[in-house]
Structure formats: structure tokens, C-alpha cells
Amino acid sequence: GAMAAPHLQQPSFLLATLKADCVNKPFAQRCHDLETVIEELPAKELHGIFPWLVESIFGSLDGIIVGWNLRCLQGRTNPNEYSVALDFLDPSGPMMKLVYKLQAEEYRYDFPVSYLPGPVKASIQEQVLPECSLYHNKVQFPSSGGLGLNLALNPFEYYMFYFAISLITQKNSPVTHHVSPSNSAYFILVDTYLKCFLPTEGSVLPPPSSNPGGAIPSPTPRSPAVPFSSYGMHHTSLLKRHIAHQPSVNADPASQEIWRSETLLQIFVEMWLHHYSLEMYQKMQSPHVKESFKPTEEHVLVVRLLVKHLHAFSNSLKPEPLSPSAHSHTASPLEEFKRLVVVIPRFVQEKLYIFLQHCFGHWPLDASFRAVLEMWLSYLQPWRYAPEKPPQSTEPLPRSVSDKWAAFIQENLLMYTKLFVGFLNRALRTDLVSPKNALMVFRVAKVFAQPNLAEMILKGEQLFLEPELVIPHRQHRFFMSPTLGGSFLSSRSPAVTDASFKVKSHVYSLEGQDFQYKQMFGAEVRNLVLKLAQLICQAQQTAKSISDHSAETMASQSFFSWFRFTPSEVNGSYTGNDLDEIGQDSIKKTDEYLEKALEYLCQIFKLSEAQLTQMMMKCGTAQDENGKKQLPDCIASENGLILTPLGRYQIINGLRRFELQYQGDTELQPIRSYENAALVRLLFRLSSLLNQRFADQMEVLCSRDDFVGRLCRYHLTNPQLAQKIRYSPVVRDRMSHNWGPRISLRFLASYRTLISLLMIYFLASWFYVGPVGCTFIILTGYFLYAVIMTFFFEGWKPHEH
């Protein structure tokens, strides 16, 4: 749990009283009492309860104490507690008043380094100072008898650290009902804090206190007991780095208004995204490496909220004045910070890129990937969160992406190209007949098909591939990663344009100097797109066949279907599909999504009609002369047919299948769901007794060359099974009784047979035909059926027995 600074006294009477109230008083009453305590008591007394209060709200760092369980608290299920919690934790509510009250006194609270994200924790423990200024001058080594390293945080940092990291630590919160993450109190608070401390309009809300807590400076620098090395250059505050050349602004107290904005943004990015370092990312490319951190769907949704708000925040930047002197006098600190977020995209880009790469490579192949997909697409489309409104048009044409976004696309090229290839590889392994998977393919294709977007991505690739007229052994110096001490403003060859340099710096800083770039519009990726288009066609045909099969099934569920005896009931072949229960509406949606996705892919990659026609011909949806689907793709060998990778994919996704039939003794096949188990066993014993008793007589009858012999051979023998037994020792060993001529009564155990017999007897009794007459009618009908089938299959020629 939270640990206060070593100089704190023992728990006070106030703390003991508040802990007792947690057990004895309802939630709303406790919050009201806390508000009174915060308003009336001085900071000196509130100092001792602050760590306990933060932990009791957000839960302990080890996840044992759940706290208020904000991630499961929803207004629909608990409206009273929901509204009370949001009011208490609001930026202008009692809890933030407590934070600012303690902030004015410059109290510090210890946060264990062991609960920080993996790369940060490993860096600090190895005495390497993280690049992010959030950790600078805060590392405290344990006093005598103490365990572990701590960060000395001010109250605002301490509160936001706990708030942000509770999304990660509280994974096993009890859930008694279905919870929608976007409607939880936690999600609403994230949105509220972002709008308050990173406002798109106006300025940051001032601290709700008479004491200007917002002007409290950062913690006093403290020299660590052991010297730290750095990732690169020593970095100070983001704002101070950006306006260090403006002493007038630094001296202005108004510049302190955005320290909370910077702190909040750094904490959210570090706690939610910095779980993989570049080194870890490179190692995790191997499928044998076990991942150390697994984000949840809720985690991804919160990160998407952060991405969307950052786009809106940076896009709300006002245009720069034409006069530089006017700019220096009119630009507010918040405007400077917005400009900072724009000009330093790597502040979020690197961590988000590695986070997305991990999700694309390790997320399960199911519909929950939609959350990751939408987060990615939100980052790719900053123009969606721009304040300007699209021009009114009478034609419903897609809005063209403005050329002003070319710089963003070029400086985030890998976000568009490499992650698109990653999505293609995922899509090729998913079942596109599923409406949810088809929707994801449609969403990606629709986004990348926006007018002018593909052209700008292609331009970015051309800039990256632009040849360099520099000395080869010095080339690496021009593209040093900013995280390794390089600068985007380093001296470079005049042959390299500014745009080309920025693209190369972006790619090499994220992937390293030895990275082999795979062009999105190159031949290799184009082949992947063609494969995806082929699978889309196959999925469309599969959806159509499922729809037709469902329609036939519905039509066959009639009164007279009970009288039909189908071969599948005898040999146990599987004629259905796991997707039969999708429903006609979902199948229609699947077809619409896939059709539009294919259209968008053709627009993006300029696929011609001839290519589409050729691709359709390759689709394994053509039917043979018997009206049956072709077998899965396989190759013939001396040991039989061997499935190819394409064939395995076709089987897994239900695109093709083998006609499975029971190859053994039909009398010994498993009892079916449409059979009466007791009757199956009883009739098997009866038929076994008859076969043992009359085996010689049936053998003699079947050996005759006249009509009686042909009739007996057709109904008492199974030539196919006899041939398999003769040539297959495996089948022969599994036969537990005589496989010569025999009587089989198992068909009488079918529920359809029983119901048919009962209905015949019911009709016979209606026409006053007694049981003897009914039996005569049934036997006569079966005899005529047997004679007809004998003539049809056997003819008049003697059977080669």
C-alpha cells in the first residue's frame, strides 16, 4: 500500500475514527464526513490521513484492497454511490481541495518504485535515470532498515499516480453484473481530468483554494545517494526545455498554471503505455518470448480516450501570429504547451507504437481486438478531432484528407504502414464469415480509403526511400534516435530534404538502423492484400452457402419430414456448419461489410477488374458436377492426401470440408441424438441373436444366383464394408462380430421411425384396420420397397460375391 514519508507520526485519532467509519457508516455519509474534515482541519492534521485515504479510494498497489472499485461503479446499477463518488473526486471537489491544501505546504509522499511499469522500474534499479522528467530528482533510497527504492512525490503527483495505476493493479475486482467500461466512474473521471487539465478551450481550472496551490513549484531537487546515468541528455520539464530561451515567460507566475497539465499527461502516458521498452520490443519479436504485461480491453479503451483527447487538445492550438513580437507577448503558457505536444510527437508516439505492436502480435484472434483496432484508427485520424467543420455538400462523398496533415502522416509513417501489414497478417488468420471480424476488415479498409490518404502515405514512403548522397560510414550519425541523445535539428547533408530527414529519423528511432522497411505499396504487401481479397470472396461464398443451407433447413422442417430417412442418419456424416446459428441478419451484414471492404481495398491498391476476375476464379467456391463443394486444398502422396497450409485454413474457417462418414460397422457406431439409447442396445442384442442363429441359412441364400439371392445380398450384406475389412487390418481388428450376411434392426430405434410407426397405427385405427392389418400393410410396403431397390441397384445380373 501507500507509504508516507519516514518522518510521519503514528496513526492519529482522526485516522482511527475514519477507519472505523468505513465499517459502520454508509458510503454517502462517509464522503460527507470526509468533506467536512477536509474543510475544517488544517493541512498538518490532514497530512497523516492522505496516504490512507488515497489507498482506500483507488485500492492498494498489490491489488488486495479494492477501494471504491471505480472501474465497476456505474450509474445504471448504483446511481447514488456513482454520483457521490464523482462529486467527491471531481477536479473542483473535496478530494482535490485536500490535494491543493497539502500541496501548499510542500508535503512529500513515498511511492514504491517496485510498482512502476517494468522498463522504468528496471532502469531505476539499475541506477539509470529514465528519460521522462517525471522521475527526475524524486528517487529516494531507503533509510536504515528500509526496503526498496521510493519516489518522493508531491500530493498532486501522488494522487494521480494512484489514480492512473489503479487501472493496471486492480485487475481482479469483483464483478457481479455486466460492466461497460465506457460507462464506469473511472472512465468518466479520466475524461473529466483530461478536459479539466488539458482543455481544448479556455485555460486550466484554477485550484479550488484561497491559497494558490497551482503555483506551488516542483519538488526541491535532491541529490541521490548513488549517482545515476541517463538514457541520453539530461531532460528537464517539457515546458522548460521548450521555452528556456524565454526568461520573461519563465519569470511570469502565469507560466506555472500548466504544471498540472504536464504532470497529468506524463503520468497517464507512463502508467498506461510505458510497459515495453525498445529493447523489450525487439526481444518480443520472437514467438517464444513470454510477454510480461497483458493489457485488458478496458485498458485499451482508456488509452483510446487519451489519444482522442490529445488530438483534440493539440488541434485546438490557435494559428501563430504573423509578427514574432506579437507571438511572444500574446501566447499563453497553455498555448505553448499545446504547441509543444504538436512539435514533439515522440512524447507519446514511441510508447504508443510499441504498445500497439505488442497488441497486434499478441492479442487473441477474437472480436475483442476491436478495441485495439479503434484505438489505432483514432491515432491515425487526427483530422477527425480538428475544430473546423467539413464543407456542406449535397453529395454524400467521403471527405478528402487535407494536405496539411502530410507532415503528421510522414512523421508517423510506421503507424500507418507497418501496423497495416500487421493487421493484414491478423486478418488472414481470422474467420471472415463472422460479422464482427468482417466489420474490423471493413473499418480498416474504409479509413485507409479516405481520399488523398493513400497518396500521402505513398509520398511518405518515397521520402523514406530517397537515396542519400552522404559518406556511408557516417550515415548513421545523421539519423540518431532522439532517445539516444540525437536531435531532429542535427547537421545533415544538404541532399537530404527536411521532410525526408524527419521520416528517416522517425523510422530509425523506432526500429533501429538495421531495420528492413517493407513498403505498404510494394509487391510483397500487395500479394498479402490479394490473398485477403481472395479470402473475402471465399467468405462471401461461404456466407451465401450458409444462408442457402439455413433456408433449406427451414423449408424441410415440415410435417412430412418426419417420414424421411436420410443417409446422414446412418453413416453419421457432418453436413452442417458451426456458423449455422449466425442468423440471416448477421449473414447479410457480413456480406455487406465484406463487399464494401473489397471495394475499398481495390481503391487503395488500385486493383484492376481483371485481377478481381482472376482472383474470383481462384476462389475455391466453384461446385463440381455433382453439386458438392470441392475438397480442401491438398496434395496427393503415397500415404494419401496431405493438407496444404491453405487447406488447413479452409477447414478451420469452414470454407471447405471433407465429407466425413462413419467407416466402420454401422451397428457399432455411437448412439445418435435422434435414437433411443435403450432400443439401440435391445435391438442390437436381438439382431445379434438372429444373426448367430440363422448365419448359415443367410449365407446360403446370399450365394444363390436367382432373384432371391440378389434380394438377400442387397439387404443382408455390405460389400463396401467387406472390402474395407479385407484390405484393412485396422478395421478388421475393430470388428467384434461376424461381418457376413446379417440382419440389422437399428433403424427401428430412430425417433422418426417410431413416430412414423405410431402415426401409421393411428391412421389404421382411424380406418378400423386392426393391428394385424397394420402389420401386414407395413411389411407389404417394406417388401415392395426392397424389391424395387433390388431391381434398381442389382439389376438382373448375378452379383459378384
Question: What integer is the mean pLDDT of 50-66?
Answer: 93
Q: Which three cell numbers stand for residue 359?
A: 497488441
Q: Are 61 and 176 in contact (CB under 8 A)?
A: no
How confident is the model over 266-279, as a mean pLDDT? Answer: 88
- Per-residue pLDDT reduced to its tens digit, 334-378: 777 777 666 555 568 889 999 999 999 999 988 999 999 999 999
The more confidently predicted of residues 45 and 482 is 45
Retrieve residue 211's grid coordinates: 491559497
**C-alpha cell recorded at residue 364:** 487473441
Write the CB contacts of 52 (distance below 8 Å, at least 6 apart in sequence): 2, 11, 15, 18, 19
pLDDT attached to residue 463: 92
Q: Would you state the cell numbers that stand for residue 68, as one nine-digit string?
A: 471504491
pLDDT given at position 617: 66
Closest CA to 113 of 139, 80, 77: 139
The C-alpha cell of 182 is what?
465506457
pLDDT at residue number 767: 67
- Residues 566-583 pLDDT 10s: 444 444 433 334 444 455
Give the DSSP letter string of 606-628. T--HHHHHHHHHHSTT-B-TTS-
Percent of the chain having pLDDT more than 70? 67
Separation in Å, CA 555 to CA 559, 560, 581: 11, 11, 16
Give the pLDDT confidence score for residue 554 in this predicted structure.
58
Asked if residue 449 has pLDDT above 70, the reply is yes
Q: What nine digits make up the cell of 261?
A: 497539465
Q: Sheet with 109-112: list strands edge to edge.
A: 3-4, 109-112, 150-153, 139-140
Rg (C-alpha) for the chain, rounded Å, is 37
Distances in Å between the Cα of 756 and the Cα atoms of 222, 357, 363, 666, 678 are: 92, 61, 53, 22, 19
Mean pLDDT: which of 13-17, 167-171, 613-617 is highest? 13-17
Average pLDDT over residues 622-628: 41
Q: How far apart are the first and last CA of the chain?
A: 85
279 grid coordinates = 529493447
Return the residue matching grid coordinates 526500429. 511
User: Nine-digit cell at 17?
Assistant: 475514527
Give bridge partners of residue 151 from the DSSP assignment: 111, 139
The grid cell for 433 is 464469415
Burial profile 740-762: b = 16 or more Cβ within 10 angstroms, e = fewer: ebbebbbebbbebbeebeeebbe
529 DSSP 8-state letter: H
Torsion sign over Cα 71, 76, 79, 83: positive
What pLDDT is attached to residue 561?
Answer: 47
Cα 540 to Cα 44: distance, rounded to the nearest angstrom: 70
Q: Which residue has the higher pLDDT, 88 or 487?
A: 88
Q: For residue 718, give the 3-state DSSP assignment.
A: coil
| Residue 562 predicted with pLDDT over 50 | no
| 640-643 vs 634-637, strand pairing mode | antiparallel
Instruction: Indicate the angle between helix axes 346-362 and 369-380, nearest 10 degrees.
Output: 150
Nearby residues of 252 by Cβ (< 8 Å), 6 or more positions away: 333
Task: For residues 169-194, give the mean pLDDT.
Answer: 79
Q: Which residue has the higher pLDDT, 759 or 391?
A: 759
| Residue 118, all three cell numbers | 517494468
Weakest-pLDDT range from 232-241, 607-616, 651-660: 232-241
Q: Which tens digit of pLDDT belongs to each residue from 278-317?
A: 776 655 555 455 557 889 999 999 999 999 999 998 888 8
User: Which cell numbers hold the place of 764?
Assistant: 389404421
The type of residue at 712 is: C
The confidence band for 528, taking pLDDT boundaries of 50, 70 and 90, is very high
Q: How confident is the model at residue 728 (pLDDT cuts 50, 70, 90)?
A: low
Q: What is the DSSP string of 411-471?
A: HTHHHHHHHHHHHHHHHTTS-TTSHHHHHHHHHHHHHHTSTTHHHHHHHHHHHHT----S-
The three-state secondary structure class of 643 is: strand
- Residue 788 pLDDT grade (very low, low, confident, very high; cuts 50, 70, 90): low
SS3 (DSSP) at 110: strand
The β-bridge relationship of strands 128-129 and 229-230 is: parallel
- Are 239 and 262 in contact by the 8 Å Cβ rule? The answer is yes
Please provide the size of the chain in residues: 801
The sign of the torsion formed by the CA atoms of 267, 273, 276, 279 equals negative
3 - beta bridge partners? 110
At what angle are helices 413-427 and 369-380 packed, to 10 degrees? 150
Q: Are 509 and 346 in contact (CB under 8 A)?
A: yes
Decide: 38 and 46 in contact? Cβ < 8 Å.
yes
**Over residues 464-492, mean pLDDT:** 47
798 dihedral zone (left: phi>0; alpha: psi -120 to 50; beta): beta
Of residues 313, 31, 352, the one with CA closest to residue 191:
313
Contact 709, 640 (CB under 8 A): no
For residues 538 and 621, what is the distance between their CA atoms, to the nearest angstrom?
6
Element (H, E) at 692: helix 677-693
| C-alpha cell, 112 | 514504491
Average pLDDT over residues 573-601: 71
Mean pLDDT of 597-617: 83
Closest-CA residue to 488 (of 419, 496, 352, 354): 496
Residue 639, C-alpha cell as written in the block: 500415404
Which pLDDT does position 338 carry in this prediction? 72
Question: In sequence order, what E strands does 146-273 have?
Answer: 150-153, 229-230
Mean pLDDT of 637-666: 74
pLDDT at 169: 86
In terms of pLDDT, which residue wins out, 190 or 200?
190
**Cα dihedral 79, 80, 82, 86 sign:** positive
What does the mean pLDDT of the chain come to?
76
**Partners of 140 in the beta sheet?**
150
For 686, other C-beta atoms within 10 Å of its C-beta total 13
DSSP percent split of the chain into helix, strand, coil, nearest 5: 60, 5, 40
Higher pLDDT, 753 or 401: 401
Please give the full DSSP string across 126-156, using - where no structure is assigned.
TTEE-SSGGGTTTEE---TT--S-EEEE-HH
Report the C-alpha gap between 17 and 15 in whole angstroms: 5
Residues 668-718 have pLDDT tens digits of 788 888 888 888 888 888 888 888 888 888 888 888 888 888 878 777 776
**Contact criterion met (CB below 8 Å) for 35 and 90:** no
Rounded-to-integer distance, Cα 163 and Cα 173, Å? 15
Provide the pLDDT for residue 573. Answer: 39
- The residue written with cell numbers 476462389 in the block is 619
Spatial contact of 67 and 170, defined as CB atoms under 8 Å apart: yes
Task: Judge whether residue 607 has pLDDT over 80.
Answer: yes
Residue 703 CB neighbours (<10 A): 13
Q: Are 239 and 333 in contact (CB under 8 A)?
A: yes
Burial class (CB in 10 A: 0-12, 13-18, 19+), 616: middle
How confident is the model at residue 206, as a pLDDT?
A: 77
Mean pLDDT for 627-636 is: 68
Q: Give residue-wise pLDDT tens across range 146-164.
A: 567 899 999 999 999 999 9
Count Cβ atoms below 10 Å from residue 659 Cβ, excluding itself: 11
Asked whether 460 and 494 are in contact (CB, 8 A), the reply is no
59 and 67 in contact (C-beta within 8 Å)?
Answer: yes
Task: Give the pLDDT band of residue 57 (cuts 50, 70, 90).
Answer: very high
- Indicate whether 172 pLDDT > 60: no
Q: What is the pLDDT of residue 232?
A: 38
Residue pair 660/575 in contact (Cβ under 8 Å)? The answer is no
pLDDT, position 550: 61
Does position 751 have pLDDT exceeding 90, yes or no? no
- Interior/surface letters 416-451, b for 16+ CB within 10 angstroms, e for the rest: bbbbbbbbbebbeebbbbbbbbbbbbbbbbbbbbbe
**Residue closest to 433 by CA, chosen among 607, 285, 653, 213:** 653
DSSP string, 259-300: HHHHHHHHHHHHHHHTT--HHHHHHTTSTTSPPS----HHHH
